[in-house]
Amino acid sequence: MKKRSLSGIQATGKIHLGNYFGAVKNWVDLQNEYDAYYFVADLHALTTAYEQSISIKENTYEVVADLIAAGINVNESTLFVQSYLPEHAELHLILSMITPLPWLERVPTYKSKMEELKGRDLNTYGFLGYPVLQAADILMYMADAVPVGKDQAPHLELTREIARRFNFLYKTNFFKEPEDLYTDVPVLPGTDGRKMSKSYDNAIFLADDEDTIVKKIKTMFTDPQRLRRTDPGNPDVCGIFAFQKIFGQGAKVEQGCKSAAIGCVDCKKELLEALLAFMKPIREKRQELISDKAELDKIILLGNEKARRVATKTLDDIKKIIRIN
């Protein structure tokens, strides 16, 4: 039998290249080897976007279209939407009973995310419980492996701690501790040099049209010390180089940059060619998908049903273990 993998992505915005290389590409690569469960974490989106400044439902469609266009095969993997399975909320509640508050207060993403989303009031019970909901997502499916970006390490560690605590308290070995499967791609910078994130307004989205992508790459920061075309550059501090390593010929660019054999304008032009070619089929596929919401609804419904079979069983077993009904 195949091992099971599970991962989720928040529905706070469309998928950008940072999400793609940080996690989604890995999801696609693993879907043959694993019995894969992937989902849109729309309840997680609500922890920070509860004021409805964005439409989570609309984003959910966009993310599902992005995921399929990026290569998730819904016949092979189970692709579903979290909020359609109340079991996630129920398991979150049950796990919240046994999760010590200090464990949550010391999760590093708690403070860093608040910092990133300054201006929003995140002094809420739900936001503090974000990683408990994530633990519920993971433990619900008895996932062997969780493919995520390195930034999620603290959440996986907490998931394991909660699993251990549950097993200890109820004298069981019901939960197994999930392994992480980190992607080894370094964090992709956004156009301003900070990590690519929709909250920084520096992201390149799978949905972006060609003009937008060209504009974004043109404004992207390069080595700030390289003022003249004849100055040698330092690719290690250049955002374009981070992209060249993925899309272009990294070694050649590095050499050309350091020896001033190539200029930044040409370097960007070269990168754009490769980037646009890569993004075109994905963009076309997602456009086709998003224009037919009824079809997307069907896909989501089927995935939800497949996921529900596992979720109801887990929850029934847990209720027996904790002797609640």
Cβ-based nearer residue to ligand TRP, 41 or 72? 41
Work out whether 240 is an interface residue with ligand SF4 (CB under 6 A): yes
Work out whether 270 is an interface residue with ligand SF4 (CB under 6 A): no
Q: Which is it for strands 179-182 and 145-148: parallel, antiparallel or unpaired? A: parallel
* Residue among 14, 25, 198, 216 flagged as catalytic: 198
* Residue among 195, 245, 258, 269 flagged as catalytic: 195
Cβ-based nearer residue to ligand TRP, 143 or 262? 143
Cβ-based nearer residue to ligand TRP, 22 or 263? 22
Work out whether 267 is an interface residue with ligand SF4 (CB under 6 A): yes
Pick the piece of the chain touching ligand SF4 (CB under 6 A) from 10-18, 134-142, 190-198, 219-227: 219-227
CB 92 within 8 A of CB 136: yes
* Burial of residue 141 (number of CB atoms within 10 Å: 0-12, 13-18, 19+): buried
Pick the piece of the chain touching ligand SF4 (CB under 6 A) from 110-118, 137-145, 205-213, 262-270: 262-270
Residue 310 touches which member of ligand TRP, ligand SF4, none, C-beta under 5-8 Å by kind: none
Work out whether 8 is an interface residue with ligand TRP (CB under 6 A): yes
Pick the piece of the chain touching ligand TRP (CB under 6 A) from 145-153, 181-189, 264-272, 286-294: 145-153
CA dihedral 81, 82, 85, 87 (to 10 degrees): 160
CB 31 within 8 A of CB 72: yes
The site that binds ligand SF4 (CB under 6 A) totals a number of residues, namely 14
Residue 23 Cβ vs ligand TRP, minimum distance, rounded to whole Å = 7
195 catalytic per annotation: yes
Work out whether 35 is an interface residue with ligand TRP (CB under 6 A): no
Residues in 41-80 that interact with ligand TRP by CB under 6 A? 41, 44
Mention every residue, 6+ apart, whose C-beta is less than 8 A from residue 150: 182, 183, 187
258 catalytic per annotation: no
CB 79 within 8 A of CB 112: no
Residue 264 touches which member of ligand SF4, ligand TRP, none, C-beta under 5-8 Å by kind: ligand SF4
Binding pattern for the stretch 181-220 against ligand TRP, x by CB under 6 A and - elsewhere: ----------------------------------------
The site that binds ligand TRP (CB under 6 A) totals a number of residues, namely 14
218 catalytic per annotation: no
Just list the catalytic residues. 113, 195, 198
Binding site for ligand SF4 (CB under 6 A): 222-223, 226, 233, 235, 238, 240-241, 253, 257, 262, 264, 267-268
